[in-house]
Chain A
Amino acid sequence: MSRCAPLVLAALLLLMVCTLALFAGSHWLSPHQLWLALTSSENPSADLRLLSTFRLPRVAAAVLIGALLSISGCLLQGVTRNVLADPGLLGLHSGAHLALVMLLLLASPVVAGNLRIPVAFAGAIVTVALVFATSRQHGSTSRDILLIVGIAMGAALHAVGLLIAFSAPSEVLARAMVWTTGNLSGVGGREVTLLFLTLAFVTPVALGIGKQMDLLALGDDCASSLGVSVTRVRLLAVTLGVLGASVCVAVGGAIASVGLIAPNLARRLVGPRSRPLLLLSVCCGATLVVLADTIGRTAFGMMELPAGILVAAVGTPYFLCLLVFR
């Protein structure tokens, strides 16, 4: 099978899932209604408004978050030379959660609502910076120690965040829960723009360092001997990965394990080389998040299930199967 075939198939699948996601919802649109909504330019119908204000941004956000988290996963797996690494392992979800809980406690609901994304982003970035600073020993960072410190720091900050949330008024706990469980309801044009700009920045750079990332996989000595500036490439990859994942966490909360599942699925289909791997991961990750979000808002009647929970529910067993039946 050609190496392009999985990519073309995955892109088609993504397109299909996105189209389906536009029709689906508590109010289902028929293809005919969709066509009417899009073509009748005079007095915008309710259907068109539903599409443009709710579904389109939501599907777009799901695609972008899936894509960004997948790239982030690829990059961090490359840097740590550990295919089980995930952006979440660096503790950024817990950092964002803690920052949001503090924000909800200290600021009025309106202010908190406005500051939600920058504060969550700052929480995530500061946590990762702390993880890197702590795991630095004798001027160098061991990959294994980095992941262990990340997991430990994540657990500690999560505990602190929960402790504060539980001792606070119950609406703080509830809102913090909604904001951090990977929920895409309420995303609008602003969030989509932010995600899009991040993706537009991260993708070309990630593809650009693809060859160097391939060589990094052979080990530092080998990569260096092949002419790769190891420290520079690694720093760039980590920065991009953390940036992408933090924006996603800030906008959509913890849609955990996409960054783990999508690259590993893609790796089985196209092998370990960075560029095809990145492109296919993006398609897989986007499809996964759109699918999870669509199922979440349609399958359970009035109750909407956050995409984060569904990704975990679908992804984890799938991932265990991958490990067992490899």
Chain B
Amino acid sequence: MKSITESPQLRTDSLSLGYLDRTVIEALTFVIPAEQVTALVGPNACGKSTLLRGLARLIPPQRGSVLLEGKDLHDLPTRSVARRLCLLPQHGEAPEGLTVRELTEFGRHPHRSWLGTATPKDDQIVAESLAAAGLSAHADALVEHLSGGQKQRVWLAMALAQQAEILLLDEPTTFLDPAHQFEVLRLIRELNSKHGRTIVMVLHDLNLAARFADQVVLMKDGALVAYGTPVEVLTPAWLQTVYGIRVEVRIEDDGVPLIVFRG
């Protein structure tokens, strides 16, 4: 699963993104660190989700480009992009009556012929993905009967079955209680460490970003303000600049910064 190409896996080149005549992100040039977990953090409406959607080819650039191993994402066929790159939107909604296995199988779509018949290899990959997400026992359950954390894990299983080396996750922990947030983020870390996936995720909780991300990108008003490891970026000064709040940062015994809000 290691990428052995010269040009960076995914990068933006003076990328401007927006909707209609409104520009949200202006001339951003940035290399997504390969095989790492990167958290996009920043206040509401700072352009995190827009950037993620731009990286996933869901909105066309106003100017500039997104380059996948040196090739413009918008020049590549949709299906071949889908084999490399996967986005999970914030509200994954499965239609009623779909089983866990069926939803996971959808991840195989970009690899199938137009008739879409499943091969034994597809079945094997689906089974492996379900196992990796800890859902083997629930494969025939209906998705709507699962708990919030399990549901999110089904979506991750689908993403895993897609076998894209880059996963873009839009707030994968929203609507989950703290225990489920941990469970889902642990699985995301595993997708990175065991399966070598490059992960970019939008997160709101700074402490979760500190604990689960290798790199943190701090954004404000569509611009990239700071970028680096959690210890480098999640500092009182930067957080004051971006959020306008006073915080205290303690470094825990395991080296993870803990952010305490002071108002």
Contact = CB atoms under 8 A, between A and B. Distances in A.
A222 B90 CA distance: 10
A226 B112 CA distance: 11
Given A215-B106, A222-B89, A228 B94 contact: no
Contact of A222 (B83, B92, B102): B92
A188 interface: no
A221 B58 contact: yes
B189 interface: no
Contacts of B94: 217-218
Interface stretch (A29-37, A98-106, A267-275, A312-320): A267-275
Interface in B94-126: 94-99, 102, 106-107, 109-110, 112, 114, 116
A271 B89 CA distance: 23
A44 interface: no
Nearest to A207: B115
Interface in A112-147: 138
Nearest to B83: A227
For this complex, into which size category does the number of interface residues on chain A fall?
20 to 34
Interface string A203-234: 00000101100110111011011111100000
Contacts of A222: 87-89, 92
B106 A267 contact: no
Contacts of B20: 138
A227 B53 CA distance: 14
A214 B114 CA distance: 13
Contacts of A215: 106, 109
B98 A227 contact: no
Nearest to B57: A224
A227 B110 contact: yes
A221 B78 contact: no
A72 B132 CA distance: 39
Nearest to B109: A226
Nearest to B77: A227
Contacts of B88: 222, 225
A141 B255 CA distance: 50
B86 interface: yes
A267 B97 CA distance: 8
Interface in A233-286: 267-268, 271-273
A170 B78 CA distance: 58
B50 interface: no
A227 B78 contact: yes
B153 to A, nearest CB: 16
A215 B86 CA distance: 14
A208 B95 contact: no
A271 B98 contact: yes
A222 B86 CA distance: 8
A266 to B, nearest CB: 11
Interface string B65-102: 00000000000001101110111110111111111001
A208 B58 contact: no
A219 B96 contact: no
B130 interface: no
A138 B106 CA distance: 31
Interface of A: 138, 208, 210-211, 214-215, 217-219, 221-222, 224-229, 267-268, 271-273
Given A208-B114, A225-B86, A272-B97, 8 more contacts: A210-B116, A217-B94, A218-B94, A219-B89, A224-B56, A225-B82, A225-B87, A226-B109
* Closest A-B pairs by Cβ, 9 of them: A227-B82, A227-B110, A271-B97, A227-B79, A211-B116, A225-B87, A272-B95, A221-B89, A217-B95
